Chains A and B, each alone.
Chain A
């Protein structure tokens, strides 16, 4: 089997995913094309050497529709011979794109692939693409659909996390993010996003709130109380979890991932492809796996995916130096740490999506890139990147420096 290597990666800063966010005027195609072009230019790539461009995108409709992987490559001026596609594994799409690209390389069916993801949540709102999962009454009933936030609050209920517990976690994410930004740790991997006249719209992450306090976080209203009680979803969750007397609504906008716009791209290739491109590998994709889990609580996948992956890779938790666990909601990462016993000082060391935001299709590639950079900065060997995934899934990837 051929090894798949990470040669480089880039990402846009994340803009607040609202009409007054810095990136709202930029359609997803431009976010993706600018990132692809920057990756090409920084590495001096002859794009004819690239076999495929794979972009994760969770709401592939409207601006983001029509196989955005292919169209973004064309729009970035890549050679016509470069194929492209879009894939959707909900929140792990960006990581799944990398895993899929790596799989092509490892199986000898491709030499070099660019994989990543894009999401302009300010322009194409979450769930804009619809779906039988929650919208077809027969299906929603059959699978006990509840929104993710209810799943997160259900985790907190079952694990006994209080509002203070999850807010404390969120505050630490903000603190770490602020420290990393102040230290300039992301500078080498960020592509400033430009407008149509070439002016920079955003050069650093827009979402973090470094000044926030526990009191600020504590003042926020529970985000899913209304959906749970008035929308009937708490009742659905309790039908699936009948030992729960009442859902504890602890998640807020402050301890859940932010809604943002952004894109990321990772250059993958075999050893020989790297030689042809004249690039040195920074890390190797060691193994990856996805799992399915109970879909109503939905967000317990990271620990399950991690266990499956470590087993397949014949590794143990002790072999992993750093963990990136997507901060979809505070309770997701707290559950991961509780189930695996991994200490917080190895997890999301530069903060996570609670501070930076979670541009759905792009996040997996972004946190993989952050892990590569941090391994290098700390001179460590291995990292495990994992995300919880809608409809009850988890995806995980292990990388190691070379």
Chain B
């Protein structure tokens, strides 16, 4: 009768519900589980022989949340707010029926309990959590643009107070068992094998079958309502901090605060309904869809190496060669050593190579200092890196990554030297961020085994790797590169060759547009604030300072040399040239660029900007600046797609968010176009093309999409919207 759970009733009248959703590595709430749970509650409530209910999981985790695939499609199916409300209420009211079943209910939380899993436990009268580092609990819904819609915003503040509840839910981060106990989210910790027996022991003690908030005279710990100054401040500052950290692009944290505020001023049952209404507002918005689709579904597929050519045998990567022990080479060496790979880190001199290794040494020492790693383990990792100037060490490497200076001649030289030593079946990869791979592959007699593996800086923190196929790269080479990325637990996208590939082209468009506006006389503070308000991590001028104007200038010069008459100067060319050639303000590392970097305070826009680029008397609105900064990037992504540089919308989206910080709320560059509507986007671009510059002219394929109303992400078949 039940497909997702089993019920056993023992001689003492304790009914154990063991949740075990078939064909899933972890339990998640599916419609079947919700239905089974509802039926079980009805049956056990009516069964007079049952005196207590114990809920646990048949898997190593408890319940990891809801089935995102199911939720993510709701928006595209055109779900109505009332339907979304009902959807949330179905699970919420099921939990409420459990809570008011009239018999004591205990949760034996044997492992991870997230989202709906924790909400189920919160609806139990007693919670025993496994005292196991892996058994974290939390309400991460905010990360997918939603809020806990099964009683979380109603129960957590009543359990631990509004301020702690707000933090738990707006952060969305998980807490350890010890922390959960300290906060009061659970009643007891027990060894994993004993959670059920301890929960059972509580049930046998004839406890009261009532949640605290159902008792007469219950008060929310710490108080509620706005005449409580601390509570008013929690909501006031909480709202400001949310807009500070997330801007105004992410509705979920605000809806969570609203659900908490409204829900703590009314009786519990009404709080559950209000929560479902706020949930409905989020589920019917595009941002939740965008976050779920790109950062969970599409990223998840790429993480599983969905682009790996089928049938290519897996070659275990034991030894990795790295040419160039600068910032990128040193970072790659560090992450590869962490993943268990032996690394040969080569630079022109032993001293330079050792300096590169010192980077890993520093990072590992910090890990040890902060207690994230034992000294012994750090020493083991470090021992995997051999720093040398001797190319002979490359002999046994399955893969060699070149990360030397972005100069064709230098790259060709090290490539030739490495290939002399490397085995014939080894793969050679370049970590270039701009130079076309097919051109670099000309330095190799085996271009089929040549590929681009573009890491982002800092290597340790940046989750994306952009893999670039040269014209002659063969599938086995791609497979080996992807396996390497998989080993590092980073997310790969695979693109075809082009100057700047995909991510650098899109990123460049952002930087160029910022500089173009500066040249037009747009207030630089407005440019920078607009970039951040749009959701970019930093403004276009600040980020150009970070990567250095000199680097962008040099890449532009290189393109000019390579392309000759076909070279189209980027719109930023006059500003870059003026800063590099005339002003010698090269960027942050060189002491200043668009910003000054005083030793005793935060960076400030260079006061000389106003003199070199006088403010225009009429300034654009912040919305216009935001639109230019996001549209130009999305447009470049659409061009890349049309040119076949990036071949799937999923990779364009994931790559833009993880690689260059395109705002997650959009779902990525092409998702941004879909979210606005292709026709509207094309209309905007045509207008910008007339008013701002021809660079906004939409390409033909994009216009065809607008005409035929074809989004980049196909709409799911419309069915019933629940």
A136 pairs with B235, CB closer than 8 A: yes
Q: Which of A228-236, A358-366, A368-376 contacts B (4 or more CB under 8 A)?
A: A228-236
Q: How far is the CB of A84 from chain B (nearest CB, A)?
A: 24
Contact mask for chain B residues 224-264; partner A; CB cutoff 8 A; 1 contact, 0 none: 01111101100111111111110110000010011001000
B235 pairs with A243, CB closer than 8 A: no
B227 pairs with A137, CB closer than 8 A: no
Residue B619 lies at the interface, judged by CB distance under 8 Å to chain A: yes
A-B interface pairs (CB < 8 A), number: 95
A242 pairs with B240, CB closer than 8 A: no
In the bound complex, what is the Cα–Cα distance between A242 and B248 (angstroms)? 13
Residue B108 lies at the interface, judged by CB distance under 8 Å to chain A: no
Q: A138-B258, A245-B528, A246-B602 are in contact. Are A130 and B237 (CB under 8 A)?
A: no
Q: A137-B261, A236-B244 are in contact. Are A145 and B239 (CB under 8 A)?
A: yes
Closest 6 CB pairs of A and B: A130-B226, A232-B240, A235-B244, A232-B244, A137-B257, A232-B241
282-308 of chain A: CB within 8 A of chain B: none
Q: A128-B227, A243-B523 are in contact. Are A134 and B232 (CB under 8 A)?
A: yes
Q: Which of these, A125, A128, A146, contacts B240 with CB under 8 Å?
A: A146
B528 pairs with A130, CB closer than 8 A: no
Q: Which of these, B227, B240, B258, contacts A61 with CB under 8 Å?
A: B227
A245 pairs with B604, CB closer than 8 A: yes
Q: Within 8 Å CB of B604, what residues of A?
A: 245-246
In the bound complex, what is the Cα–Cα distance between A231 and B526 (angstroms)? 22
B235 pairs with A135, CB closer than 8 A: yes
Q: Within 8 Å CB of A238, what residues of B?
A: 529
Q: With contacts A236-B244, A238-B529, A242-B529 known, what are 8 further pairs, Cβ within 8 A?
A: A135-B226, A135-B235, A141-B254, A145-B240, A231-B240, A231-B241, A235-B240, A236-B243
A137 pairs with B243, CB closer than 8 A: no
In the bound complex, what is the Cα–Cα distance between A40 and B675 (angstroms)? 69
Residue B427 lies at the interface, judged by CB distance under 8 Å to chain A: no
Q: How far is the CB of B530 from chain A (nearest CB, A)?
A: 6
Residue B605 lies at the interface, judged by CB distance under 8 Å to chain A: yes
Q: Which partner residue on chain B sits nearest A240 by CB separation?
A: B622
Q: Which of these, B227, B235, B258, B605, contacts A129 with CB under 8 Å?
A: B227
Q: Within 8 Å CB of A131, what residues of B?
A: 226, 232
In the bound complex, what is the Cα–Cα distance between A135 and B238 (angstroms)? 9
Q: Within 8 Å CB of B240, what residues of A?
A: 140, 145-146, 231-233, 235-236
B residues engaging A (CB < 8 A)?
225-229, 231-232, 235-245, 247-248, 254, 257-258, 261, 523, 525-526, 528-530, 533, 602, 604-605, 619, 622
In the bound complex, what is the Cα–Cα distance between A236 and B238 (angstroms)? 12
Q: Within 8 Å CB of B529, what residues of A?
A: 238, 242-245
A130 pairs with B225, CB closer than 8 A: yes
Q: Within 8 Å CB of B248, what residues of A?
A: 141, 239
In the bound complex, what is the Cα–Cα distance between A353 and B114 (angstroms)? 54
Q: Which partner residue on chain A sits nearest B260 by CB separation?
A: A137
Q: A137-B258, A244-B525, A245-B528 are in contact. Are A130 and B232 (CB under 8 A)?
A: yes
B247 pairs with A137, CB closer than 8 A: no
Q: Within 8 Å CB of B239, what residues of A?
A: 137, 140-141, 145
In the bound complex, what is the Cα–Cα distance between A235 and B231 (angstroms)? 21
Q: How far is the CB of A336 from chain B (nearest CB, A)?
A: 25
B229 pairs with A127, CB closer than 8 A: yes
Residue A132 lies at the interface, judged by CB distance under 8 Å to chain B: yes
List, sorted by A's number, 12 A–B pairs whose CB atoms are closer than 8 Å: A136-B258, A136-B261, A137-B239, A140-B236, A141-B248, A231-B240, A232-B241, A232-B243, A242-B533, A242-B622, A243-B525, A245-B604
Q: Which of these, B226, B525, B530, contacts A136 with CB under 8 Å?
A: B226
In the bound complex, what is the Cα–Cα distance between A140 and B238 (angstroms)? 10
B528 pairs with A145, CB closer than 8 A: no
Q: A137-B238, A138-B258, A140-B239 are in contact. Are A242 and B530 (CB under 8 A)?
A: yes
Q: Within 8 Å CB of A232, what residues of B?
A: 237, 240-245
Q: How far is the CB of B121 from chain A (nearest CB, A)?
A: 27
Q: How far is the CB of B283 from chain A (nearest CB, A)?
A: 17
Q: Which of these, A137, A227, A231, contacts B235 with CB under 8 Å?
A: A137
In the bound complex, what is the Cα–Cα distance between A277 and B525 (angstroms)? 63
A125 pairs with B229, CB closer than 8 A: yes
B227 pairs with A130, CB closer than 8 A: yes
Q: How far is the CB of B600 from chain A (nearest CB, A)?
A: 15
Contact mask for chain A residues 159-171; partner B; CB cutoff 8 A; 1 contact, 0 none: 0000000000000
Interface centre among B236, B248, B605 (most CB of A within 10 A): B236
Q: Within 8 Å CB of A130, what residues of B?
A: 225-228, 232
Q: A135-B235, A137-B239, A137-B254 are in contact. Are A239 and B226 (CB under 8 A)?
A: no
Contact mask for chain A residues 101-132; partner B; CB cutoff 8 A; 1 contact, 0 none: 00000000000000000000000010111111
Q: How far is the CB of B615 from chain A (nearest CB, A)?
A: 10
Q: Which partner residue on chain A sits nearest B621 by CB separation?
A: A242
Q: How far is the CB of B650 from chain A (nearest CB, A)?
A: 32
Q: Within 8 Å CB of A235, what residues of B?
A: 240, 243-244
In the bound complex, what is the Cα–Cα distance between A125 and B248 (angstroms)? 31
B605 pairs with A245, CB closer than 8 A: yes
Q: Which of these, B236, B254, B622, contacts A145 with CB under 8 Å?
A: B236
Q: How far is the CB of A231 from chain B (nearest CB, A)?
A: 5
In the bound complex, what is the Cα–Cα distance between A236 and B242 (angstroms)? 9
